[in-house]
Amino acid sequence: MYTERTYRHTVRTGLVDFEVKAGESDLFLSADRRLVRQTAGLLREVRAELEAYLARHPAFQTSLEPVRLKRAAPPIAREMAQAARAAGVGPMAAVAGAIAEAVGRGLLRWTREVIVENGGDLFLNCVRPKRIAIFAGQSPLSQRVGLEVQPGEMPLGVCTSSGTVGPSLSFGRADAATLVARSAALADAAATAVGNAVKSVEDIAKGLELARRIPGVRGAVIIKDDRLGVWGQVTLIPL
């Protein structure tokens, strides 16, 4: 199911913005210059590697729990599997973040700065501070708060899971569970795990405690209705 990324209309990065799509991947990118051809090539390559692995090992795609890697797994599958083990979820919970990071790191051959957004999941590598708005659906806090990220914190993954926005599978009802980690795959998997744990405002503290226990996670912001909780090495700002 395709969901229109209306939030992209409000993005101001100070860089050159462009979009690239392939299969289920719909990327919004910012870089020093338009790199559509290079991005498309990287995206096709990483998707082909992952799709070939999924065809041989379908359990990797369907499992809701961590799975053991088979031989000759491509780098993206290894990243996803490692993130899934750390967060205690299925490997596909890390796919959007893993693709964003694989493409972003590849683009650093041609650009000094890059931001890759894949369905609300971000990989950032910039030389100037960036502000990231948190989209939380119908919550009154949606796009009213965000994160400020400094150059020394990057490269960085910032990923959001929601039980009330978009088509992605979630067993919770968080309006936004935003997780921060050096690995975008880990941030994505952790966002799913934390989002699954939050079904009401009373679960915000439980979700933050879960985030704290996932190795490699740097911080978390959870929004449910008109309530917000934050933990870790994140700078929360009003927007």
Mean pLDDT to the nearest integer, 84-110: 98
Write the DSSP string, 20-80. EEETTEEEEEEESS--HHHHHHHHHHHHHHHHHHHHH-THHHH-SS--PPPTT--HHHHHH
Domain presence at residue 165: yes
Domain presence at residue 3: no
Count: domains in the chain: 1
Residues β-bridged to residue 123? 116, 157
pLDDT grade, residue 8 (50/70/90)?
low
Domain presence at residue 51: yes
Q: Answer whether residue 11 shows pLDDT above 80.
A: no
- Residues 6 or more apart in contact with residue 118 via CB below 8 angstroms: 25, 26, 27, 96, 97, 99, 100
* The predicted structure's pLDDT at residue 168: 62
Enter the tokens of residue 55.
């065809």
Dihedral of the CA atoms 164, 165, 169, 174 (nearest 10)? -40
Task: Annotate 31-66 with b (16+ C-beta within 10 A) or e (fewer).
Answer: beeebeebbeebbeebbebbeebbeebeebbebeeb
Q: Give whole-number Cα distances, 26 to 125, 212, 225, in Å.
A: 19, 30, 28
For the packed helices 95-107 and 36-56, what is the interaxial angle rounded to 10 degrees? 140
Q: Answer whether residue 116 shows pLDDT above 70.
A: yes
CB atoms within 10 A of CB 129: 13
**Whose CA is closest to 156, among 179, 133, 190, 189?**
179
Q: Answer whether residue 134 shows pLDDT above 60.
A: yes
Domain presence at residue 95: yes
Q: What's the one-letter identity of residue 183?
A: S
Domain presence at residue 114: yes
* The predicted structure's pLDDT at residue 7: 64
pTM exceeds cut of 0.75? yes
Mean pLDDT to the nearest integer, 67-75: 91
For the packed helices 75-87 and 36-56, what is the interaxial angle rounded to 10 degrees? 70
CB 167 within 8 A of CB 130: no
CATH number of 228's domain: 3.10.520.10
pLDDT digits over 147-166, tens only?
999 999 999 999 999 987 76
pLDDT grade, residue 84 (50/70/90)?
very high
Domain presence at residue 1: no
CB 137 within 8 A of CB 164: yes
Domain with 153 in it: 8-238
